[in-house]
């Protein structure tokens, strides 16, 4: 009889001579013989498989990617604790432990792939149960599970808009319009010295001018024509503020003494 024909337990095997009752006999009741055989079930080896793997369909390149998985021992024999390997596009990026599993038992866990580990585009995430092949299994070819993920590049931050630069060559003549707003300009001193800031208007208006250094410290200025003695070398900002609802064209001129 072929292996696996008999189920586990006590089984009777009986042989019968002239089973088809073809031969004329004086006694047909003594043709059989029976024996009882005890059949023992054989446990199949452990067999670890990844039964589920979840991951986001897409993620930003600046985001960490968390994957969730379930490992099942679909064999009869218990498996000791094991190591799962995590791959991205065939390259190993990490590993995590899987608890010991009795036959038929499952273990659920997760792993987080660091932000920036994947460039923009489509990638394949693969997890491999018993990654170092330490568990004796009936089948080592069913240990893996893969999923695709699309990584979107992080847009570059917009550079701050450059402020208009003032120089001593020519004024910004009537190019700006005030309307309950603040206009800001920059200028740079290569050496310490005196600065004259001349603000003039095309039409009647009331405005104020203020001066700030690179650290944001303000020099109190109230007149349209303002002189500041002995400014240190460095970058400065001039703010022109309107205080009425009338749009006013103006010119601003910078002079260094």
- The CATH number of residue 118's host domain is 2.60.40.10
Question: Which residue range forms the structural domain that includes residue 206?
Answer: 172-256
Q: Is the pLDDT of residue 134 over 90?
A: yes
In this predicted structure, what is the pLDDT of residue 171? Answer: 61
Write down the mean pLDDT value for the chain. 83
- pLDDT more than 90, % of the chain: 41
Query: Which residues sit opposite 123 in a β-bridge?
Result: 149
Residue 84 has pLDDT above 60, yes or no: yes
Please determine, for residue 27, whether its predicted confidence score (pLDDT) is greater than 90.
no
User: Does 54 map to a domain?
Assistant: yes
Q: How far is CA 31 from CA 11, 18, 23, in A?
A: 20, 7, 11
State residue 175's pLDDT score.
60
pLDDT by residue (tens digit) across 158-212?
A: 666 777 777 766 666 556 666 666 778 787 877 777 777 777 766 645 667 777 8
pLDDT digits (tens, 9 = 90+) for 93-126: 999 999 999 999 999 999 999 998 999 999 999 9
Question: Do 242 and 189 belong to one domain?
Answer: yes
Any residues with CB less than 8 A from the CB of 14 and at least 6 apart, and which? 32, 33, 34, 35
62 Cβ contact list (under 8 Å, min separation 6): 115, 116, 154
Please tell me whether residues 136 and 177 are part of one structural domain: no
Structural tokens at position 239: 């703010």
What is the enclosing helix (H) or strand (E) of 106? strand 106-113
Do 95 and 55 have their domain in common?
Answer: yes
Segment 51-76, tens digit of pLDDT: 999 999 999 998 999 999 999 999 99
- On whether both 103 and 197 belong to a single domain, the answer is no
Mean pLDDT, rounded, for 19-43: 85
Question: Which residues contact residue 205 at a Cβ distance below 8 angstroms, ignoring those fewer than 6 apart?
Answer: 178, 242, 244, 246, 248, 250
- Beta-strand relationship, 144-152 and 218-219: unpaired
- Over range 26-43, report the average pLDDT: 85
Asked if pLDDT for residue 33 goes beyond 60, the answer is yes
| Cross-strand bridge partners of residue 250 | 176, 201
Number of domains the chain is built from: 2
- As given in the structure block, the two tokens for residue 144 are 């893996």
């Amino acid at each position: 009889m072929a292996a696996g024909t008999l189920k586990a337990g006590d089984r009777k095997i009986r042989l019968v001579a002239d089973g088809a009752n073809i031969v004329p006999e004086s006694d047909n009741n003594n043709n059989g013989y029976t024996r009882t055989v005890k059949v023992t079930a054989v446990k199949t080896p452990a067999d670890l498989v990844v039964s589920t793997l979840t991951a986001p369909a897409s993620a930003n390149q600046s985001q960490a990617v968390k994957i969730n998985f379930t490992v099942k021992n679909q064999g009869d024999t218990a498996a000791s604790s094991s190591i799962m390997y995590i791959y991205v596009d065939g390259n190993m990026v990490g590993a995590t432990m899987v608890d010991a599993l009795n036959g038929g038992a499952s273990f659920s866990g997760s792993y987080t792939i660091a932000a920036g580990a994947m460039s923009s585009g489509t990638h394949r995430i693969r997890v491999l149960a018993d990654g170092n092949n330490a568990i004796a299994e009936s089948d080592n070819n069913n240990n893996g599970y893969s999923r695709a993920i699309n990584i979107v590049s992080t847009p570059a931050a917009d550079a701050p808009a450059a402020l208009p630069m003032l120089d001593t060559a020519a004024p910004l003549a009537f190019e700006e319009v005030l309307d309950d707003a603040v206009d800001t300009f920059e200028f740079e001193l290569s050496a310490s010295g005196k600065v004259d800031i001349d603000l003039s208007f095309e039409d009647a208006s009331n405005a104020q001018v203020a001066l700030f250094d690179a650290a944001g410290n303000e020099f109190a200025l109230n007149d349209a024509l303002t002189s500041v003695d002995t400014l240190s070398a460095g970058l400065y900002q001039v703010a022109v503020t309107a205080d009425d609802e009338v749009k006013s064209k103006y010119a601003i001129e910078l002079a260094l003494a």
